[in-house]
Structure 1
Amino acid sequence: MAAKILIVDDEVRHGEVLEAALAERGFEATSTNTVAKALTYCTSHAVDLVLSDLRMPGQGGSDLLKALKEQQPELPVIIMTAYATVRGAVDLVKDGAFDYVAKPLDLDDVVATMARALRLKAVESENARLRSELEGRYRFDNLVGDSPAFRDVLRQVTEVAPSRASVLLLGESGTGKELVARAIHYNSPRRDLPFVAVNCAAIPETLIESELFGHVKGAFTGATGAREGRFAAADHGTLFLDEIADMPLPVQAKVLRALQEQSFEPVGSSKSVSVDVRIIAATHKDLQKEIAAGTFRMDLYYRLAVFPISLPPLRERTDDIVLLANHFLAAAARDMGKRIKGLTPEAQAMLTRYRWPGNVRELQNCMERAAIVARGDLVGEGDLLLFEATGDAAAMPHTLDGDLDGELARIEREFVLKALKDNGGVQARAAEKLGITERSLWHRIKKLGIKIDKVAGAGDG
């Protein structure tokens, strides 16, 4: 779609010539000869860029820029000026004009300057759209739940969000700790600044210090250039340290110092870097046990746990299960372009009876799969893939006192293996059966160490 350009020049003939020249270059150009007419036009028409002369009788380019910055601050303005008045144009750039072009005009220079302005406008518009989408996604009213346990979480999130206090989120895997962390950020004064998430368990011990604090060129073998760390990337925003209990002790010491002093040294550097970062940390482990075992620093715990929030497992939020299921089902159906009204009473009862070892994350995955396989406008029992539905209900513990992540990995492995075997090792069909993408299935196969050449036979590697 052609960009819409408004030319403002008191020399009517000059404006018309430029209008025609820009039209030949693929722009949709219109010209006018006064500031008043330009402002009226911008009010009633969509305009992507304004190209204005600096000096005109009465009101000039500076008056137009000032008015547009008040009315449409996102609209780029380029000033046309004779060489004798370049200084005035430079002052206008300081006041918010995108750039200036000198008269007599070089059309290639004009078009190149316009292209830069339009690219920047497009990037800013996309960033604003994404920011609005993120803020909408993490509004408090999108944290779904009406159970007393979850209402208590919402109350705490509402209390702590406006502050700069460190927050420690505690809860089993899949309870929505990152969702809550993002909700805190996007409802805080830092909402327009970076939210940087780091999964401490997913980064090798040898790399985590560099990942968090960056490094200088030559700091270690393979450091061919300087690299900014996550603390610096989150400056003035929020840094989310997920699975903080898996952070190595030496790195915990450096994180503690960074929190206390709001400064750190990149790996291989003796120069301190100052930052203003709010920390939200999360873990599914019992940090008191980790402290007793000597694997987590007590002083770091107290620095992080200024405002601890415990997220209840889904089995303790029975009243929320159907609410959440309908929420996830509606989102999945909308993304797939399917018309699904909801769940049958039998399906609702089945979901409520289930223990949800994978918590909210497992429920979301279950609803996404159900939306794929559902043939009617209601999801029934046959559309739900649950652990208990495999016939191993007796093996499902009512309390999970062991390794939850290990148990979930075992369940996931069984599901993937069964889907692959049922479909002769064909990943596309297995992925469809599981209700996930083929790429997602490939990542799971790699993570779980499944050998495809043995799947259709007796072994699984």
Structure 2
Amino acid sequence: MRPSVLVVDDEVRLAEVVSAALAERGFDGQAVGSVNEALGVLNSSDVSLVLTDLRMPGLGGRDLLRRIQAVRSEIPVIIMTAYASVRDAVDLVKQGAFDYISKPFEIDDVIATVERALKLGEALEDNRRLRLELEEKYSFGHLTGESASFRNVLRQITEVCESRATVLLEGESGTGKELVARAIHYNSPRRLRPFVAVNCAAIPENLLESELFGHVKGAFTGALAARQGRFAAADKGTLFLDEIGDMPLSIQAKVLRAIQEQTFEPIGSNRSVHVDVRIIAATHKDLRRLIDAQEFRADLYYRLNIFPIALPPLRDRPGDILLLARQFLNSFAADMGKRLIGFTSSAEAAMAGYSWPGNVRELQNCVQRAVIVARGNTIDVSDLSHYVVEGNSKLAPEVGLPNDLDAELARIERNYIIEALKETNGVQVRAAERLGISERSLWHRVKKLAIKIGHHVE
């Protein structure tokens, strides 16, 4: 779709010439002779950019800019003006116009300015869209859980979002600490500012200080250019220090000062840099034990532990397992273009009975794999990772012997056949394939066990 440029000038002939030149360069140009006409076009058409004269009888370019900013602020406005009115045009740029062009002008200058304005508009729109996607992705609605322990986490997140208090997230690996950190940021007054994450365990000790605070050119061997650190990059936003329990003692004192005073010096510099950064830290380790072992500074711990939030492991919120699994299923199925309606009852039993030592991350990875390998429209036990089934207490055989072996075997056989028929929407050929038997054998068993096949298999 070609960008649409609306040219507004009371010298209609000039507006038409500019519009025609724009059309020759790949734009949809439209010329009007007054602000009122321009407002009519804006109300009825999709306009990408407005090129307007500053001074016109009645309403002028200043009035048009004000109207556009009030109702269609995403549309860039370029002001055309005579040399004597350049000061007014500069003032309008300060008020929100993209740029100004002095009359008389070269058409190539007009085209170049229009192209720059449209590229900037596209970039701003992309940024706005990405920001909205991030805010949606990390909204409270995506923190799934109905257990009492997780509801308590949500309550704490709600309490701390609006403040600038330092937050310490504690919990096992895979419990979603970074997801919670991002939710705090994107629901805080800093949501439009950067969220910068650094994994303290993933960066070698000799590089971590430079990563956090930056360095000047020539500060050490290999420092061929100055580099900005993560503290500076997070200015006015949030710095997420993940796995802070793995931060070397040699760096902890400088981090403590940066957090306390919001000031630091890049490596090799004697100039202090002031920042406004909110700190969210996370660890899967017991920091109190690290303090006792003299592996973590007590003063840094107390600075971080202003608002602690403990994230429960998934085994302590069993009622949330299937809620999370269904959410992951819907997300991955949509991404892969697969039509999956859910899990079989046996798959749900397997997931509910597994302890999930890797917590939410392990469950997410398991469901992703299951979505990839699933052949039918539901996910069965065979689609799950083998470790979910092996040693699963809820799948273990019941203790004791049945009073009527034939009746018990018939019940088990009937349940498996019904499950296969439901999974294949009653298509007996596919159900037989899922069960590893012939279609004729399945037909005899359906008849023997009085299974009704219709809209609902029973």
What TM-score does the superposition give when structure 1 sets the normalisation length? 0.84
- Specify the alignment match of 1:4 in structure 2: 4
SS of equivalent residue, structure 2 residue 206: coil
Could you tell which deviates more after superposition, 278-287 or 94-103? 94-103
- How far did residue 388 of structure 1 move? 4.4
In the TM superposition, residue 41 of structure 1 has moved relative to its aligned partner by 1.4
Q: Is the 8 A contact 1:366 1:386 kept in 2?
A: no
User: Paired residue for 1:443?
Assistant: none
Structure 1 residue 116 corresponds to structure 2 residue 116: yes
Residue 132 of structure 1 pairs with residue 124 of structure 2: no
For the 8 Å contact 1:262–1:277, the answer to whether it is kept is yes
Return the alpha-carbon distance in structure 2 between the equivalents of residues 186 and 39 of structure 1.
36
Quick one: which amino acid aligns to residue 106 of structure 1? E
In the alignment, residue 316 of structure 2 is paired with which amino acid? E
1:341 alignment partner in structure 2: 341
Q: In structure 2, how many angstroms separate the alpha carbons of the residues matched to 1:239 and 1:386?
A: 39
| CA drift at 1:392 | 7.0
SS in 2 for 1:387: helix
| Aligned partner letter, 2:28 | E
Report the counterpart of residue 265 of structure 1 in structure 2: 265
Match of 1:174 in 2: 174
Asked whether the 8 Å contact 1:230–1:239 carries over to 2, the reply is yes
1:307 is the counterpart of 2:307: yes
Whether the 8 Å contact between 2:350 and 2:392 is mirrored in structure 1 is no
Counterpart Cα distance in 2 of 1:161 and 1:86:
46
Deviations 1:197-222 (A, max 9, x none): 00001111001011001111111111
- Helix, strand or coil: the match of 1:101? strand
- Give the corresponding residue for 2:163: 163
Give 2:75's aligned amino acid. L
Alignment correspondent of 1:214: 214
- Kept in 2: contact 1:236–1:276 (CA 8 A): yes
Any idea what the Cα deviations from partners look like across 1:242-289, whole Å, max 9, x if unmatched?
A: 000111112110010011111111111111111111000000011111
Counting aligned pairs with the same residue, the percent is 65
Task: Provide the C-alpha distance between the structure 1 equivalents of 2:73 and 2:229, rounded to a whole number of angstroms.
Answer: 33
Report if aligned partners of 2:351, 2:388 keep a CA contact under 8 Å in 1. Answer: no
CA–CA separation in structure 1 for the residues paired with 2:69 and 2:264:
40
| Partners of 2:304 and 2:39 in 1: CA distance | 53
Does residue 91 (structure 1) correspond to residue 91 (structure 2)? The answer is: yes
Q: Distance in 1 between matches of 2:187 and 2:18?
A: 47
**CA distance in structure 2 between the partners assigned to 1:357 and 1:247 by the alignment:** 24
Do residues 189 (structure 1) and 185 (structure 2) align?
Answer: no
Distance 1:203 1:133, change over 3 A: same
Q: What code does the residue aligned with 2:282 have? A: A
Structure-to-structure mapping, 1:62-461, within 5 angstroms: 62-389=62-389, 391=390
What per-residue deviation string (whole Å, max 9, x for no partner) do you get for residues 152-198 of structure 1? Answer: 11111111111110000000100000000000011111111110000
- Kept in 1: contact 2:200–2:246 (CA 8 A): yes
Number of the residue aligned with 2:19: 19
Q: Distance in 2 between matches of 1:172 and 1:331?
A: 24
1:39 CA displacement? 1.5
Q: Which moved more, 1:284-293 or 1:83-92?
A: 83-92
Partner SS, residue 281 of structure 1: strand
> How well do the aligned residues superpose, as a CA RMSD in angstroms?
1.2
- 1:102 counterpart SS class: strand
Q: How far 1:76 sits from its partner (Å)?
A: 0.5
2: distance between equivalents of 1:386 and 1:90?
Answer: 68
Q: Does residue 1:33 correspond to 2:33, yes or no?
A: yes
1:327–1:393 CA distance, 2 compared to 1 (3 A):
closer
For 2:93 and 2:309, the matched residues in 1 are separated by: 48
Find the aligned partners of 1:179 and 1:303 in 2 and give their Cα distance. Answer: 22
Deviation at 1:386, TM superposition (A): 4.0
Amino acid at match of 1:226: A
Amino acid at match of 2:328: F
- For structure 1, which segment, 176-185 or 43-52, has the greater mean C-alpha deviation from structure 2 after superposition? 43-52
- Compare 166-175 and 104-113 and name the one that shifted more: 104-113
Task: Find the aligned partners of 2:249 and 2:124 in 1 and give their Cα distance.
Answer: 41
Q: Secondary structure at the match of 1:51?
A: strand
The CA distance in 1 between the partners of 2:348 and 2:40, in whole Å, is: 58
Structure-2 separation of matches of 1:368 and 1:243? 25
Cα distance in 2 between the residues matched to 1:222 and 1:375: 53
Q: Give, as a single letter, the amino acid of the residue that structure 2 aligns with 1:252.
A: Q
- Name the CA distance, whole Å, in 2 between partners of 1:333 and 1:194: 31
Q: Mark the runs of 5 or more structure 1 residues left unpaired by the alignment.
A: 395-461
Q: Secondary structure at the match of 1:370?
A: helix
Question: Is the Cα contact below 8 Å between 1:199 and 1:241 reproduced in 2?
Answer: yes
Distance 1:129 1:69 in 2: 19
Residue 384 of structure 1 aligns with an amino acid whose one-letter code is L
Partners of 1:358 and 1:225 in 2: CA distance:
41
Normalised to the residue count of structure 2, the TM-score between the two structures is 0.84
Q: Which residue of 1 aligns with 2:433?
A: none
AA partner of residue 325 (structure 1): A
**Cα distance in 1 for residues equivalent to 2:326 and 2:247:** 37
Q: What SS does structure 2 have at the residue aligned with 1:206?
A: helix
1:393, 1:201 → 2: CA distance? 33
Superposed displacement of residue 88, structure 1: 1.6
State the Cα distance separating 1:87 from its structure 2 match.
1.6
Deviations, residues 214-248 of structure 1 (Å, cap 9, x unaligned): 11111111111111110011111100000001111
State how far apart, in whole Å, the 1-side matches of 2:147 and 2:344 are: 22
Letter in 1 for 2:125: S
Q: Report the 3-state secondary structure (helix = DSSP H, G, I; strand = E; otherwise coil) of the residue aligned with 1:30.
A: strand
Question: Cα deviations across residues 276-324 of structure 1 (Å, max 9, x unaligned)?
Answer: 1100000001111111111100000000010101101111110000000
Query: In 2, Cα distance between the equivalents of 1:108 and 1:230?
Result: 42
2:353, 2:392 within 8 Å by CA — same for their partners in 1? no
SS of the aligned residue for 1:201 comes to: coil
My pick for the range that moved more, 237-246 or 104-113, is 104-113
For 1:269, what is the secondary structure of its paired residue?
Answer: coil
For these two proteins, the number of residue pairs brought into alignment is: 393
